Amino acid sequence: MVITSTSSFQFVIRFEGLPASDDTSFLEVSGIGSEMDTIASEEGGENRFVHSMPVGVKHMPLTLKRGIATNTSTLVQWCKATLESGFTEPIETRDVTVYLLDHQGAPLRGWSFSNAFPTSWSVDPFQAEKGSIAIEKIALSYTAMTRKL
């Protein structure tokens, strides 16, 4: 019998204009993907099928989870400026890159997200019976996604 072991995925997230530090370390990233929006179009006299016509590409929010950071975190400051400013200042967008790393820390795959900005910032429920850390979740919207590697 052959037993194989696999290591967990390692990844790193880089925000343009923010320092590459532990402040950008995350437990989970999700929402990497795109979906084609379509409309149904019926053809007169053709009853066997309905045409599906493309109208645009929709991007899922990029969702990041990590332990709750301090108020001095540059990422927290960006989220606060975007979500708590009352639209008194223009929203500052940033390009975000997610790299999937190999066991030695070298990038295997990468995705770039253009003009990203925070659209939600929440804290997972506090549960006294579980001994887990408090988690914050940040969702980002963006205009385009590009696979790099």
- In this prediction, residues 83-104 reach a mean pLDDT of 93
- In this prediction, residues 50-54 reach a mean pLDDT of 94
CA distances from 50 to 39, 44, 47, 92, 113 (A): 10, 10, 8, 42, 34
CATH code assigned at 56: 2.30.110.20
Q: Write down the mean pLDDT value for the chain.
A: 90
Within a domain: residue 2? no
- In this prediction, residues 108-131 reach a mean pLDDT of 94
Q: Is the pLDDT of residue 9 over 80?
A: no
Give me the pLDDT at residue 130, please. Answer: 83
User: What is the extent of the structural domain holding 114?
Assistant: 10-147
Within a domain: residue 31? yes
Residue 45 confidence class, pLDDT cut points 50, 70, 90: confident
Within a domain: residue 105? yes
Question: How many Cα atoms sit within 13 Å of 90 on the Cβ side?
Answer: 4
DSSP 115: E
Q: Is the pLDDT of residue 2 over 70?
A: no
- Total domains present in the chain: 1
- In this prediction, residues 103-120 reach a mean pLDDT of 95
Residue 73 neighbours by CB under 8 Å, 6+ apart: 23
Q: Do 137 and 65 form a contact (C-beta atoms < 8 A)?
A: yes
Within a domain: residue 81? yes
Within a domain: residue 5? no
Would you state the structure tokens that stand for residue 117, as one six-digit string? 């900005």
Within a domain: residue 20? yes
pTM given for the model: 0.86
pLDDT digits (tens, 9 = 90+) for 10-38: 999 999 988 877 677 899 999 999 999 99
Question: How many Cα atoms sit within 13 Å of 130 on the Cβ side?
Answer: 8
